[in-house]
Structure 1
Amino acid sequence: MPVLLFDIDGTLLQSNGVGRQSVNAALAALAGETFDFSDITFSGKTDRQIFREVLEAGRRCGLDVSADQADRFGELYQREMEQNLPAATVEALPGAVDLVRQLADDDAEVGMLTGNLEPLAYAKVERIGLGEAELPFGAFGSDHHDRNALPAVAAQRASERYGREVPTSELVIIGDTPRDIACARAAGALVVAVATGRFDARQLREADVVLDSLEAFSLDALPAAA
């Protein structure tokens, strides 16, 4: 049985802009003003990478910020998200909740691999009725700014949880962006891409398996690990 690692945004759920709203509020709290960062894409990036990119762009726009303020920015962002998320429109994507619950019921080895800071990852999935019972471990944006470093973190945590060595080649990363695919490839892991985020099936064709949604997910359809 492989270790299945789910991305969150665009894969399990949509949070409909609450992240950008909270980044904007955190930036205003940090710098006293904000700017238009709509050209910075968030898809597939870790929160810490997003913080760095927004601060660097803000500096170029004349804001009194620097990349070394990323940790403080993250603290402000987490505070804003914790305030905004309860009232945000958070929607489970097709098949996501049923699949994760069924896998958990079947004692599958399931966790998360996401760019979200760990507390916010759990706060988001709780909005769709999932939590540590179904997704008991993972690797998060709070672990490293580089998404490609997260599979090794997840493999180590899986090894500790299941009492056996879990190499990254035994991971299956399930996500919705080309960055999820690149992350899996860098780790020698399998990757399942779902076209429920910002990218269509054609843009995700480099994945081992491409699905229209998690409703079509099947363990039997996974190719054998290399």
Structure 2
Amino acid sequence: MLWNVDLTLVDFTIITREAYAEAFRRVIGRPMVRPAPAMGRPESEIIFETLAINGVVAEDGHLPRFAEALTAAFAARRDRLAKEGRAMLGALDALKAVARIDGVVQSVLTGSLKDNAVLKLAAFGFDRYLDVEIGGYGEEVYPKATLLQVAQGRAARKYGHAFSAADTVLIGDSVRDVQAARIGGASMIAVASGRSTAGELSQAGADVVLPDLSDPAEVVAAVTRLTGPPAA
């Protein structure tokens, strides 16, 4: 079970924008005019586009330097996360409910850098229900669909089970998440809690579309149906 983080489980939009502005200033030496929109993409892609739209020609060292600066800027704000961020409606109860499904392993598939994702999850106690070591993260320069397969491989090595489309479920809020599931080999539960509408998520090919995570029984039912034996 792979969870997207931002706008699926948590929302730290304001703090993330501040951290991007600080990282840009540290690396480039001048203020950032505007960041690139996230839209469910890995951080590496967002960083390169942020540089481009702010008139910076990307060089080989920009990505690691920006990622390091972004991690430091976010860590410097860790004491503000629980107060100024928010847990998405029903997220904690949904994580708890899915954790009770026999044999389930929960992790994340996120565009966020790993250190930042862990801080976001820990701010609301979500990390205790997730094996963050086997997830896919934004510093890995792969499309999100490939990150899904990377996470499956990490889970297989740790738990001794080869995960496939038949027993992998992604929960996310963006069309890009749906596309990653379709390409990468997973069932998809889309939650219309982000910037993609329920109609857009359904049209993109989500197996299940929920308005939010407020009904944990509904989430569990969807996971069980998608990973259970095929109907006769």
In the superposition, the TM-score normalised over structure 2's length comes to 0.86
Superposed CA deviations along residues 48-99 of structure 1, whole A, max 9, x for unmatched, are: 11111112223xx3x4x52421111110111001112321412111111011
**2:86 matches 1:97:** no
Looking at structure 2, the residues matched to 54 and 181 of structure 1 have their Cα atoms a distance apart, in angstroms, of 24
Name the structure where helix makes up a greater proportion of residues.
2
Cross-structure match for 2:117:
121
Give the CA deviation at 1:224: 4.1
RMSD (Å), alpha carbons: 1.9
Would you say the 8 A contact 1:47–1:141 is kept in 2? yes
Instruction: Map 1:1-226; keep pairs closer than 5 Å.
Output: 4-38=1-35, 40-58=36-54, 61=55, 63=56, 66-68=58-60, 69-88=62-81, 89-107=84-102, 108-131=104-127, 133-136=128-131, 137-205=134-202, 206-216=205-215, 217-222=218-223, 223-224=225-226
Once residues 105 and 224 of structure 1 are traced to their aligned partners in structure 2, the CA distance between those partners, rounded to angstroms, is 16
Kindly provide the amino acid, as one letter, of the partner of residue 219 in structure 2. Answer: S
Moved more, 199-208 or 19-28: 199-208
User: 8 Å contact 2:189–2:222 — kept in the other structure?
Assistant: no
Separation (CA, whole Å) in 2 of partners of 1:148 and 1:187: 4
For 2:206, the aligned partner's letter is A
Amino acid at match of 2:177: D
Equivalent AA in structure 1 for residue 58 of structure 2: S
CA distance in 2 between partners of 1:173 and 1:34 (Å): 36
Distance in 1 between residues matched to 2:182 and 2:38, nearest whole Å: 20
SS, match of residue 22 in structure 2: helix
Any idea what the Cα deviations from partners look like across 1:125-166, whole Å, max 9, x if unmatched?
0111121x3101311112334212111111111112221111
Identity of aligned residues (%): 29
CA shift in 2, pair 1:150/1:169, >3 Å: farther
Which sections of structure 1, spanning at least 5 residues, go unmatched? none
State the 1:116 CA deviation: 1.0
Aligned residues: 217
